[in-house]
Amino acid sequence: MSNSIIVIKKTVLTFLLFVSVSAIWPVKMAAQQEKQGIRLNEEARRKFDYYFYGALNAKALGEYDQAIDLFQHCYALDSTNANVLVELGTFYNVLQEKNKALDFFRRSVYYDPDNYYYNMMLAGLSKELGLKEEVIDIYRHLSQLYPEKLDVRFELANAFADAGEFQDAINTLDELEKNTGINEMIALNKFRLYSMMEEKEQAFDEIRQIIEKNPSEPRYLILIGDLYLEDDQPQEALKYYKRAMAVDPDSPALILSMVNYYERTNDKQAAQAELQKAVTNSLMDVEVKLQLLTRYLGILQQSQQDMTQVNSLFETLFEQHPNNSQLNMIYGNVLLLQEDKEGAIKQFEIYVASNPEDPAGYEQLLRLALPEQDLEKIILVTTEALEHLPEEAQFYFYLGAAYFQQGNHREALKVFEEGLANATMRNPIVESEFHGQIGDLNYFLGDKEKAFESYEKALQLYPQNLPVLNNYSYYLSLEKKDLDKAEQMSGITVKAEPTNPTYLDTYGWVLYEQGSYTLAKIYIERAVENSKDDDLSAEVLEHYGDVLFRTGDKEKALEQWKKANEAGGESPELNKKIKTGEL
């Protein structure tokens, strides 16, 4: 269990680089300098102001290199100015130079000890770095300076709890309670603290106080019931659930709690009955029903019951809520569990029609089309998806891949290029894949220079892109170009996946082109050994024949060339090898 108190109310602890500290808090530069005992002459003051406001302007424009450089100029003129110190600390914090940032924040507080925001920034970073006692000291200081700021008291209690000083944390919350009165937030925090101190009765007394103050509010009865259930006291939990039931028997929270209770007491049938009753209740909000429905389906799956029993339940729900397409999505997934793919497709299509700008529906349809290699369906789904979601990269990728598999290379290239131009690339790996596909397509279309340029871009984005490393190195070997580079790239793939026959064959072939025939034979033989008989490509077999010929086994080489021919590798070069028995 974490020592941290649950603080429900948000506190201001995090300050983004993009928000200017000095823009939030007006700067009285001359007054501050006088307080710090530093007096700049008129010329130095003008320089300082010029640099400082120039830095703020650069920061606002996103020109961070220039901003930090200008703040450094300010620092050189006055190393005791708290505004400059906190600005530099903020930069170093974002740059992950935490210790340097900590030093600047500490010095900013030293020169301006009563500044609330500077102290909060120092406290946030100190907490992040695990400086527990320092955090306590900061919040204690702030709570004395700003007694009206209740958030500071919560943070002080948090700091005590993080340091394992639970009683001090409780005392702090008790003081806070004098100002706010008994409330749920404080009571829950004290409950957790007493629980960590193994003082359970005092912990539960905190929640009972809320119930006494709000006797007709069922959610507090449910809350204490949940806490008893969590503490493995189901009978105590049931006592409070029954009291809540007397007040509001249709409370969705109570239904969920009763389901938890039945599950905890291993009464699965009662849990199912409770959920089924709730889901069919026409008075209950549909969003709550969806939550309960998902829970009900989970119970059926866990207990490995027949999922078809929920179909009639869905019929009732569709009658009650005919326009809620979320039901179609859930039912589609349920039908998949029942292995009813056609029914699932119908439900997902209804969902897509109602939610054309939600990628989830199209993704479900693709999930069914991809294993079947239904290229026409993939093209249909992705084309429709891109009409509504032109920023979604995955649909360009699958559409381009489908055209690629159809041999429609020019259309595939166009799709991948459009994807790069229009889609939101959420990470460099995805963008690298697009460049890799463009490289492959350009090579097939005969533009080798563009292909190699695309491979370079792909590897700049993601140096460990194994398919790109493999294809790039293989095509370089076919061109008998940059073989050392090809060998290095191919070696990465073999090290990463030492049993991948494609990568082994490529590495062997690069070695072959370098004239290292004995080593080449070792890797190409491994490629053959790691391939299933029906997966052995004509290309690998032909390579194996070539390397056998070079290492002196001409008879076996001819045998492999013939196998390559039988595997569909017919070409004038291969036919000539078979006919002459020579390379």
String of DSSP letters for 472-522: HHHHHHHTT-SHHHHHHHHHHHHHH-TT-HHHHHHHHHHHHHTT-HHHHHH
Q: 436, 471 in Cβ contact below 8 A?
A: yes
Please give the pLDDT value at position 481: 94
Instruction: Name the one residue in this structure whose structure tokens are 């072959």.
Output: 512
Please give the pLDDT value at position 35: 46
Instruction: Write down the pTM of the prediction.
Output: 0.60
Burial label, 217 (beta-carbon count in 10 A; 0-12, 13-18, 19+) = middle
Phi and psi at residue 412, to the nearest 5°: -60, -45
Please give the pLDDT value at position 85: 94
Tens digits of residue pLDDT in 34-80? 344 467 788 888 999 999 999 999 888 888 899 999 999 999 999 99
Instruction: Report, as ranges of residue numbers, the positions in the chain whose pLDDT lies below 50.
Output: 1-37
Contacts with 499 (C-beta within 8 Å, 6 or more apart), sequence order: 526, 530
Tens digits of residue pLDDT in 342-376? 999 999 999 999 999 999 999 999 999 999 899 99
